């Protein structure tokens, strides 16, 4: 695709609901990143995949957060039993092998999650 695509753009969830956020990286990009951006803050790293392998999940705030990329392309970030503090914009980024060497990541427009 032309860019990183994320869906949905907006998600409203009631506290306690489970949500799934989708990221379609740029075609052929082997690296995929998830970031969480709270209101008025910079993005914070959640997790990183290289192909289907999750190489770093040190930023996931709790065991309610789970990410997968089973075929090395599309990724899903799942949040179980959502809480109000989960309200944020969730950004996905991807990088090719060549761009990874330059440490360049391309971002999607994010999913804004509001937990009521």
Partner 1 sequence: AQTVTQSQPEMSVQEAETVTLSCTYDTSESDYYLFWYKQPPSRQMILVIRQEAYKQQNATENRFSVNFQKAAKSFSLKISDSQLGDAAMYFCAYHTGTASKLTFGTGTRLQVTL
> Does residue 8 have a cis peptide bond before it, meaning omega lies within 30 degrees of 0?
yes
Tally of residues, the chain: 116
Between residues 80 and 109, which has the closer beta carbon with respect to partner 1?
A: 109
**Rounded to the nearest whole angstrom, what is the least distance from the CB of residue 103 to partner 1 in the complex?**
5
List interacting residues with partner 1 (CB under 8 A): 3, 31, 33, 35, 40-45, 48, 55-56, 59, 89, 91, 93, 102-110, 112
Between residues 25 and 108, which has the closer beta carbon with respect to partner 1?
A: 108
Q: Could you give the residue ranges of the DSSP H alpha helices within 4-104?
A: 97-101
Between residues 77 and 93, which has the closer beta carbon with respect to partner 1?
A: 93
Q: Are 15 and 83 in contact, with CB atoms under 8 Å apart?
A: yes
């Amino acid at each position: 695709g032309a860019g990183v695509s994320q869906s949905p753009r907006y998600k409203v969830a009631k506290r306690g609901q489970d949500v799934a956020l989708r990221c379609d990286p740029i075609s052929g990009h082997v690296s995929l990143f998830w970031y969480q951006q709270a209101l008025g803050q910079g993005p914070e790293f959640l997790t990183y995949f290289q192909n289907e392998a999750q190489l770093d999940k040190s930023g996931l705030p709790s065991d309610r957060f789970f990410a997968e990329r089973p075929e090395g392309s599309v990724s899903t970030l799942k949040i179980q039993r959502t809480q109000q503090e989960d309200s944020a914009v969730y950004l996905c980024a991807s990088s090719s092998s060549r761009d990874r060497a330059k440490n360049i990541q391309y971002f999607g427009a994010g999913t804004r999650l509001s937990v009521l």
